[in-house]
């Protein structure tokens, strides 16, 4: 079995690569990643030493390059993690999100069709459903919830989902889609809430909480997401969407206080700042389908996951310092050149 993992130098992709190399020592894994600001080759340093793993630098939006790669490698399965993933950046500059998340997905779908991959899996997000009201804790996103994206990021992800389903309906491409809630864990780029707050608390800097801090996110430890994707690509039904989440809703302010608690830092570091434009109020996944059909359940509870995450960041401060200094970007240029 040969699997293409795109975006594998990013947070969830690199966790997925380690998960798959450990679980399936006979599988070959090829990682395609453009090494944008969010891609870090150092996250894959252990994988690079594995003879079953290969790293290829390139963009999923480069149609000819993607075509050549698919022709030469004959992939059985494609798992597309590659994306511009940060909502705040999409508000600043939407166009790169459209280029990567929509056109990049189109290039992968086209090559998957042309070279007959057995499964194309699109890693999507619960943000495609928009948001839920704070005063209705009884309602959740199901796979049948209407698409209602709020940000350029989520609109680009929703577009990619529609394109993926269209390739199934029109060309018979064997696709699946997963829509997961907020992930946290090792290797997450420190622009996202949890690692940002860990790094700022460690430096005794103020912790910027958007608006009133009452927005709710549904947090899942990254390894549980990886296990869900593994189950879907092996046992999921072609043409289907699977929501992934562990019924772990938290208000942002409570997540930030949990981080401070783990680091024994004072709550006086919290600073309320201007709200995010179009800020989604609440995300909450109903995971009944993946649970009943594929037997998936989350294994890591929030307390344990947060403990492991904080410990990882404490033990890997050099990983973060290199990102901050831009050192890893220079390293990647040295290894792979500018192209």
Query: What is the binding site for ligand TDX (CB under 6 A)?
Result: 85-87, 125, 127, 182, 192-193, 196, 208-210, 215, 217, 252, 276
- The answer for 61, left when phi > 0, alpha when psi is -120 to 50, beta otherwise, is alpha
For ligand TDX, the closer of residues 53 and 221 by Cβ is 221
The option from ligand NAD, ligand TDX, none interacting with 90 (CB < 5 to 8 A, set by class) reads none
Beta bridge partners of 80: 6, 122
Q: In what order do the strands lie in the sheet with 241-244?
A: 53-57, 28-33, 2-6, 77-80, 119-125, 175-180, 241-244
Nearest 5°: CA angle at 248, between 199 and 317? 15
Q: How far is the CB of 220 from ligand NAD (least distance, A)?
A: 8
Options 35, 132, 193, 259; binder of ligand NAD; rule CB under 6 A: 35
CA distance 271 to 259: 14
What residue 59 binds from ligand TDX, ligand NAD, none (CB within 5 to 8 A, per partner kind)? ligand NAD
Q: Does 60 bind ligand NAD (CB under 6 A)?
A: yes
Contact criterion met (CB below 8 Å) for 178 and 192 = no
Is position 330 annotated as part of the catalytic site? no
Is position 24 annotated as part of the catalytic site? no
Residue 314 CA from chain centroid, whole number: 22
Is residue 82 close enough to count as binding ligand NAD by CB under 6 A?
A: yes
Select the span of 1-9, 163-171, 235-243, 319-327 touching ligand NAD (CB under 6 A).
1-9
Nearest-approach distance from CB 156 to ligand NAD, in angstroms: 9
Between CA 312 and CA 185 the distance in angstroms is 8
Please, are residues 151 and 127 in contact by the beta-carbon 8 Å criterion?
yes
Residue 269 CA: distances (Å) to CA of 144, 196, 198, 201, 264: 41, 13, 12, 7, 12
Give the three-class secondary structure for 51: coil
Does 4 bind ligand NAD (CB under 6 A)? Our answer is no
Among 129, 153, 184, 221, the one annotated catalytic: 153
Active site residue 126: yes
Task: Report the residue from 39, 152, 185, 298 that binds ligand NAD according to the rule CB under 6 A.
Answer: 39
The residue with tokens 């679980």 is 23
CB of 227 to ligand TDX, least distance (A): 18
Please state, in angstroms and rounded to a whole number, the distance separating the CA atoms of residues 324 and 318: 10
Q: Which is nearer to ligand NAD, 106 or 180 (CB)?
A: 180
- Of 28, 33, 84, 126, the active-site residue reads 126
Helices (H), 172-296: 193-202, 222-235, 252-263, 288-294
- 16 in contact with ligand NAD (CB under 6 A): no
Judged by beta carbon distances under 5 to 8 A according to partner kind, the member of ligand TDX, ligand NAD, none in contact with residue 38 is: ligand NAD
Residue 189 interacts with which of ligand TDX, ligand NAD, none, CB < 5 to 8 Å by class:
ligand NAD
> In sequence order, what are the residues at sequence separation of 6 or more whose Cβ sits closer than 8 angstroms to the Cβ of residue 205?
269
Asked if 180 touches ligand NAD (CB under 6 A), the answer is: yes
Footprint of ligand NAD (CB under 6 A): 6-7, 9-13, 32-36, 38-39, 59-61, 81-85, 100, 104, 123, 125, 157, 180, 182-183, 189
Residues catalogued as catalytic: 126-127, 153
């Amino acid at each position: 079995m040969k699997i293409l993992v795109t975006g594998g130098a990013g947070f969830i992709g690199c966790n997925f690569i380690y998960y798959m190399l450990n679980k399936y020592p006979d599988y070959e894994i090829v990682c395609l990643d453009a090494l944008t600001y969010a891609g870090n080759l150092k996250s894959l340093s252990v994988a690079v030493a594995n003879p079953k793993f290969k790293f290829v630098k390139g963009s999923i939006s480069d149609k000819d390059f993607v075509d050549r790669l698919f022709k030469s490698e004959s992939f059985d399965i494609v798992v597309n993690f590659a994306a511009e993933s940060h909502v705040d950046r999409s508000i600043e500059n939407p166009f790169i999100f459209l280029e990567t998340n929509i056109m990049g997905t189109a290039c992968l779908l086209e090559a998957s069709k042309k070279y007959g991959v057995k499964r194309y899996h699109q890693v999507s997000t619960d943000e495609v459903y928009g948001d839920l009201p704070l005063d209705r804790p009884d309602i959740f996103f199901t796979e049948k919830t209407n698409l209602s994206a709020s940000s350029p990021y989520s609109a680009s992800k929703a577009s990619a989902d529609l394109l993926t389903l269209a390739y199934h309906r029109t060309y018979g491409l064997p696709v699946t889609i997963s829509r997961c809630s907020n992930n946290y864990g090792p290797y997450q780029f420190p622009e996202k809430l949890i690692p940002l707050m860990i790094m700022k608390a460690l430096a005794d800097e103020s912790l910027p909480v958007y608006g009133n801090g009452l927005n709710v996110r549904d947090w899942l430890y990254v390894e549980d997401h990886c296990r869900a994707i593994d189950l879907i690509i092996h046992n999921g039904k072609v043409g289907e969407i699977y929501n992934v989440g562990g019924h772990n809703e938290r208000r942002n302010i409570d997540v930030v206080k949990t981080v401070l608690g783990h680091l024994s830092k004072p709550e006086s570091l919290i600073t309320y700042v201007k709200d995010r434009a179009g800020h989604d109020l609440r995300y909450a996944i109903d995971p009944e389908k993946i649970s009943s059909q594929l037997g998936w359940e989350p294994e890591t509870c929030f307390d344990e996951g947060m403990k492991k995450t904080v410990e990882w960041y404490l033990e890997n401060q050099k990983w973060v310092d290199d990102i901050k200094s831009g050192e890893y970007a220079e390293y990647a240029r040295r290894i792979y050149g500018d192209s």
